[in-house]
Amino acid sequence: MNHYEIVLIFHPGNSNLVSKIIDKYVNLIRKNGGIIHRIENWGRKHLSYPIKKIHKGHYVLINIEVLKKTINILENKIRFDENILRNLIISTKKAISSKSPVFLLKESENKLQNG
- The number of folded domains in the chain is 1
CATH number at residue 77: 3.30.70.60
Q: What is the DSSP string of 42-109?
A: EEEEEEEEEETTEEEEEEEEEEEEE-HHHHHHHHHHHHT-TTEEEEEEEEESS---SPPHHHHHHHHH
pTM, two decimal places = 0.88
Domain that holds residue 28: 2-114
DSSP annotation of 15 reads G
CB 34: neighbour CB atoms within 10 A?
A: 19
pLDDT of 40 reads 94
Mean pLDDT by 10 residues, the chain (115 residues): 95 90 95 95 92 93 96 95 95 90 82 74
